[in-house]
Structures are given as structure tokens and as C-alpha cells.
């Protein structure tokens, strides 16, 4: 696996984030304890807010969903946020 994949489901008033099935299977084979949350919902007032405010949250959402630290995420190849229907990449972490 090259990156941790977080699927993003946009809704009228926010977005739901969850690990992709392949990522969950990969992590369960490498990490002894299950991730702390299966999904996270973050609300916003407008669609513009999603683009503006969620940028700083990507790393934190990935850490909450995986239970891994920032350095552990980087050791596993980083992470990306995608739309599950077309795999469009919304955000991708950069190598440190």
C-alpha cells in the first residue's frame, strides 16, 4: 500500500470521512489495536467553508481515523483524501 486512503463523502452541511476498505484491511494487519473511529462527520456553513477550513484539518482527521501519529502516517507513505465514487484526490500529504 502506498498511502493511507481516506474517503470523503460530501453532504449539504458537511462531510463524512472514513478509511477506505483496503486501508482498513492494511492497518488491521499492521496495527494491533483497531482505529479509534470508523468515521468522522465535520459540518460547515457553506461549500466555500469546506475548501477553506478543511485544509488545516486533513492531518488531524487522518490521525483520528487511523490512531497513528503524524510521523507514523509518514512512515507508511502518507495519506490522501479521495471521493469514493470517482477516486478524485481532494488532498494528498507531502513527504517530509
Global pTM reads 0.85
The domain tally of the chain equals 1
Q: Say whether pLDDT at 81 is over 60.
A: yes
Q: Are 74 and 93 in contact (CB under 8 A)?
A: yes
Which SS3 state, helix, strand or coil, does residue 25 take?
helix
Band of the pLDDT at 83, cuts 50, 70, 90? very high
Which SS3 state, helix, strand or coil, does residue 7 take?
strand
Band of the pLDDT at 51, cuts 50, 70, 90? low
Of 27-36, 63-72, 85-94, least confident by mean pLDDT is 27-36
Altogether, the residues listed in the chain come to a count of: 96
Q: Which domain holds residue 12?
A: 4-92
Backbone angles phi, psi at 66, to 5 degrees: -95, -25
Amino acid at each position: 500500500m502506498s498511502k493511507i486512503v481516506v474517503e470523503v463523502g460530501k453532504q449539504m452541511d458537511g462531510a463524512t470521512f472514513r478509511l477506505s476498505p483496503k486501508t482498513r484491511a492494511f492497518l488491521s494487519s499492521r496495527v494491533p489495536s483497531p482505529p479509534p473511529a470508523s468515521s468522522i462527520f465535520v459540518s460547515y456553513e457553506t461549500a466555500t467553508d469546506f475548501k477553506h477550513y478543511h485544509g488545516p484539518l486533513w492531518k488531524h482527521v487522518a490521525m483520528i481515523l487511523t490512531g497513528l501519529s503524524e510521523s507514523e502516517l509518514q512512515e507508511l507513505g502518507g495519506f490522501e483524501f479521495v471521493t469514493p465514487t470517482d477516486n478524485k484526490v481532494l488532498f494528498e500529504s507531502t513527504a517530509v
